[in-house]
């Protein structure tokens, strides 16, 4: 697919822009013999003047600055003039206060320009950082292939990273990988599993998905916190501490997915910690609630892994930068504490989640919908704005583990649960929770 075909596939209107021209030696900054001829053939073959084109566009009913790579032009490689265009595209987005969408297909830096090509990555990184500081979102769509510096800046540096099925994605291109390297690791699907891609999107779905992302990330957020979800069950308040634990652990209790489906008209996922990990027990992203974009982080009842906490921190910080309120759903027996979790930096990941919530300038709303186990649950809870359902509990530690620490026998677990005062009504009395939330219509 050419750069213009890629644009036409997602945009109803596109107005191309051009940066100010600057003189350049025919064979480039290195005087690379034959480079002028290679460029001329690329122009003749593709009809493009460079490996990137950019301009303003409409994706559905949303305006953006759109960048598209032409892989047929010297492999979509980055040279000095490519850097000019990319820098100008980011500047245009800042000037117009528009999000930036990049349709990436590149083999990396241009060999014929040597280090001059490589330092274009610094220009792109700076322009991206300036756009981020301006509070404007960046979305990347990874086409086939997306490798080298283009992946490590325009692609991986975006707030939302989407990929086309089967696309080759990786810092190392196919000709420079180690012998015997697993090819799956360099695919869209492999990068998704590794937490570097938010979603793999079929080409036919891309215009709709992009329009929804642009809607969620550019809609003017209403002032104030996200509304508290209503409870999805009518379970009565527990009589004892152990009753609270059993209600929270009941197999039939509503889980995070059900709450999110009931709360949002639609939602789009943000997946992975960008450090090589994902946690299937944590759902995160942005959704539309009553016409208002809200970021969400939801635990799904399993022990939360380090990748989950890093993903949560990433989403909370993105929401903070874009001015979106945050909803967190707490439901975990605690943080994963196996050896693998420790090697993956559990302590640092939990600390990062605490810091992201604590430093957020946007309001964070929390509903405890099941188990609230220790610091692993508290890391995602909003100070002063946490609510609980009647089939939940929140405790410094699970009663079985508390009994073990206190050297009590199994017969004393129930009494320990009462002493911990972990029932929903206890949490309100203690000031830990603001309210016990009832079901809709109650």
pLDDT digits (tens, 9 = 90+) for 357-384: 999 999 999 999 999 999 999 999 999 9
Tens digits of residue pLDDT in 142-192: 999 999 999 999 999 999 999 999 999 998 777 778 888 888 899 999 999
Kindly give, in sequence order, each residue whose CB lies less than 8 Å from that of residue 73, ignoring residues fewer than 6 positions away: 42, 43, 45, 46, 48, 50, 51
Q: Do 312 and 282 touch, CB atoms closer than 8 A?
A: yes
Q: pLDDT tens-digit profile of 14-51?
A: 999 998 878 888 898 899 999 999 999 999 999 999 99
Work out the average pLDDT over 86-94: 97
Q: What angle do CA 316, 290, 266 make, to 5 degrees?
A: 65
CA distance 378 to 366: 10
For strands 292-299 and 282-289, give the pairing.
antiparallel
Beta bridge partners of 297: 284, 328
Tell me whether the omega of the peptide bond preceding residue 145 falls within 30 degrees of 0, making it cis.
Answer: yes
Sign of CA dihedral 418, 422, 427, 431: positive
Token pair in block for residue 375 = 């610091």
Helix (H, G, I), strand (E, B) or coil at 87: helix
The helix/strand/coil state of 416 is helix
Residue 223, pLDDT score:
67
- Kind and range of the H or E run holding 110: none
Inter-residue contact 248 to 173 (CB < 8 Å): no
d(CA 314, CA 75): 32
pLDDT score of 244: 95
Q: What is the pTM of this model?
A: 0.94
Q: Please give the span between the terminal C-alpha atoms of the chain, in angstroms, as a whole number.
A: 55
Beta partners for residue 141, in sequence order: 103, 162
């Amino acid at each position: 697919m050419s750069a213009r075909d890629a644009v036409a596939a997602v945009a109803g209107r596109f107005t191309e822009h051009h940066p100010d021209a600057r003189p350049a030696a025919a064979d480039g900054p290195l005087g690379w013999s034959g480079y002028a001829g290679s460029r001329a053939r690329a122009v003749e073959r593709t009809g493009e003047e460079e490996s990137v084109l950019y301009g303003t566009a409409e994706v559905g009913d949303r305006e953006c600055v759109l960048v598209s790579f032409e892989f047929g032009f010297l492999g979509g490689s980055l040279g000095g003039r490519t850097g000019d265009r990319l820098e100008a595209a980011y500047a245009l987005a800042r000037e117009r206060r528009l999000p930036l969408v990049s349709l990436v297909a590149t083999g990396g830096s241009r060999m014929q320009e040597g280090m001059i090509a490589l330092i274009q990555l610094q220009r792109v990184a700076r322009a991206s950082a300036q756009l981020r500081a301006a509070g404007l979102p960046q979305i990347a769509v990874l086409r086939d292939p997306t490798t080298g510096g283009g992946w490590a800046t325009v692609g991986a540096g975006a707030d939302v990273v989407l990929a086309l099925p089967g696309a080759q994605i990786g810092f190392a291109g196919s000709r420079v990988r180690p012998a015997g390297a697993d090819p799956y690791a360099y695919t869209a699907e492999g990068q998704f599993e590794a937490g570097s891609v938010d979603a793999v999107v079929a080409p036919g779905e891309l215009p709709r998905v992009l329009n929804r992302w642009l809607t969620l990330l550019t809609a003017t957020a209403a002032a104030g916190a996200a509304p508290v979800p209503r409870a999805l069950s009518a379970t009565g308040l527990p009589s004892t501490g152990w009753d609270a634990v059993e209600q929270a652990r009941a197999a039939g209790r509503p889980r995070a997915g059900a709450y999110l489906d009931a709360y949002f008209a639609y939602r789009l996922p943000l997946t992975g910690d960008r450090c090589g990990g994902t946690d299937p027990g944590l759902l995160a992203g942005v959704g539309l609630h009553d016409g208002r974009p809200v970021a969400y982080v939801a635990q799904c009842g399993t022990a939360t892994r380090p990748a989950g906490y890093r993903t949560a921190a990433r989403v909370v910080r993105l929401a903070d930068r874009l001015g979106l309120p945050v909803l967190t759903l707490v439901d975990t027996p605690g943080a994963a504490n196996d050896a693998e979790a420790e090697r993956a930096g559990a302590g640092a990941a939990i600390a990062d989640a605490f810091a992201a919530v604590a430093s957020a300038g946007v309001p964070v709303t929390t509903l405890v919908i099941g188990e609230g186990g220790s610091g692993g649950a508290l890391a995602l809870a909003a100070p002063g704005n946490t609510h609980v359902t009647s089939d939940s509990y929140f405790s410094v530690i699970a009663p079985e583990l508390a009994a073990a620490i206190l050297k009590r026998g199994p017969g004393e677990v129930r009494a320990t649960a009462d002493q911990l005062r972990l029932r929903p009504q206890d949490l309100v009395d203690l000031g830990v929770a603001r309210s016990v939330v009832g079901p809709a219509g109650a």
